[in-house]
A = this chain, B = another copy of it.
Amino acid sequence: MKQDIKVSVDAVVFGYSPEEGIQVLLIKRKYEPFQKSWALPGGLVLNEESLEEAVRRELQEEAGIDLNYLEQLYSFGQPGRDPRNRVISIAHFGLVRPGDYQLSAQTDAEDVAWFNIKRIPRLAFDHKHIIDSAIKRLRGKIVYEPIGFELLDKEFPFSDLEKLYQVLLDNDLDRRNFKKRIMALGFLEEVNKTLQRKAGRPAKLYRFNKKKYFELKERGYHSDLFYS
A residues with a Cβ closer than 8 A to B are 1, 3-7, 44-51, 72, 74-75, 77-79, 86, 88, 90, 222, 224-225, 228
Partner of A78, one of B50, B79, B228: B50
A133 CB → nearest B CB, Å: 11
Cβ contacts under 8 Å, A77 to chain B? 7, 45, 50-51, 90
B3, A88: Cβ atoms closer than 8 Å: no
Q: Find out whether the CB atom of A5 lies under 8 angstroms from the CB atom of B228.
A: no
Measured in the bound complex, the distance between the Cα atoms of B6 and A74 in whole Å is 18
In the complex, what distance in Å separates the CA atom of A3 from the CA atom of B7?
8
Output the nearest chain B residue to A9 by Cβ-Cβ distance.
B77
Contact B47 A3 (CB under 8 A): yes
Q: How far is the CB of A170 from chain B (nearest CB, A)?
A: 12
Q: Name the one of B6, B47, B51 contacting A75, with C-beta atoms under 8 angstroms.
A: B51
A-B contacts, 13 of them at CB < 8 A, read: A3-B45, A3-B46, A7-B77, A7-B88, A47-B79, A50-B78, A51-B78, A51-B88, A72-B74, A72-B75, A77-B90, A88-B88, A222-B228
Q: Separation in Å of the A68 CB from the closest CB of chain B?
A: 21
- With both chains docked as a complex, state the minimum distance between the C-beta of A74 and any C-beta of chain B, in angstroms: 6
Give chain B nearest CB distance to A22 CB in angstroms: 20
> Does the CB pair B90–A88 fall under 8 Å?
yes
Q: Which residues of B contact A51 (CB under 8 A)?
A: 75, 77-78, 88
Considering only CB atoms, which chain B residue lies closest to A78 in the complex? Answer: B50
- Which B-chain residue is minimally distant from A222 (CB atoms)? B228
Assess the A4–B47 pair: CB atoms within 8 A.
Answer: yes
Q: When the two chains form the complex, which single residue of B7, B50, B79 contacts A50, counting CB atoms closer than 8 Å?
A: B79
Closest B residue by C-beta to A90? B75
Chain B hits for A222, CB < 8 A? 228
The answer on a CB contact under 8 Å between B75 and A75 is yes
Indicate which residue in B5, B45, B74 contacts A45 across the interface (CB closer than 8 Å): B5
Query: What chain B residues lie within 8 Å of A48 (beta carbons)?
Result: 79
Contact residue among B1, B7, B49, B74 (Cβ-Cβ distance under 8 Å from A7): B7
Q: Roughly how many angstroms separate A63 CA and B49 CA in the complex, as a whole number?
A: 34
